[in-house]
Amino acid sequence: MDVLKNKTKKIYKAKVSRVEKISSNSHLIEINLPSAEEIQPGQFISIYCSGLTLRRPFSVYSQNGNTIGIMFKERGLGTKYIKSLKSGDDIDVIGPFGNGFDIKNKKSLLIGAGIGAAPIAFLKSKLDKMKQENLFICGFLNKNEIPNCVNVDKVYTDDGSAGEKGSVLNYLGAVINEYKPEIIYVCGPLIVLRETAKLAEIFDLEIQVAMEKVMACGIGVCRGCVIDIKKDGKIINASVCKDGPVFSGKEVVWQ
């Protein structure tokens, strides 16, 4: 079996199952691992991109047995390489990394924005299997950016080309008032995380945020993805890759 182990991770010599375009600016790659431990929504894997020194981290969108799915946008040389892969190609994957969502048996509001929809969609699939009540809302720039593989209960687009017009943040207070969740799970750009955390505080709701941050090593050594969090009345450093990516929205020191 092509799995190399060390104390912190597994290195998989895997195969690409498929790569396909799922929106105007995003793709889905499915990877067949020789074996796979259960991955929690919110965790991520890192992919070696030929010719590049640093691996590229990606939140996991789906897991079906030994097959995992990753949603990504082409943003640089790494994602350009991944987009170029074909079914049957070899791929080098390490993971899973980090702490995923701490799933609670509570009425859940799930919020995704842009590519941040990926780990939230994975979480929704888990909650649906557990028959836990949830509402999945998501914001995009326009209808062309909505991934065709993501089933969303309510969608919002900046230009109004699909769903309600405007940012998901414009409607969030009303959604909370109407749906009355007990917990919020969210992933997206910093502004979405920060403003959602503020609303959760106003409504006195538990909130878990999946942070998006540029990561180099993926194991907390390089300290390139450090944020400030509050612990026991003190402000301390935390690495998104190792201590997160999921944090309590109430403990993050928002900038």
Q: Are 188 and 203 in contact (CB under 8 A)?
A: no
Q: What is the pLDDT at residue 107? A: 98
pLDDT tens digit sequence for 87-105? 999 999 999 999 999 999 9
**92 by DSSP, 3-state: which?**
strand
pLDDT tens digit sequence for 155-199? 999 999 999 999 999 999 999 999 999 999 999 999 999 999 999
pLDDT tens digit sequence for 214-243? 776 666 677 778 999 998 889 999 999 999
pLDDT surpassing 80 at residue 244: yes
Q: Give dist(CA 33, CA 41) in Å, integer.
A: 18
pTM of the model: 0.92
Q: Which residue has the higher pLDDT, 244 or 232?
A: 244
Q: What is the pLDDT at residue 9? A: 64
Which residues are CB-neighbours of 221 under 8 A, at least 6 positions away? none
Q: Give dist(CA 5, CA 106) in Å, integer.
A: 36
* 38, 74, 156, 237 from 252: Cα distances, Å: 27, 29, 26, 10
Q: What domains sit in the chain, N to C, each tagged with a CATH number? A: 3-97 (2.40.30.10), 108-212 (3.40.50.80), 214-255 (2.10.240)
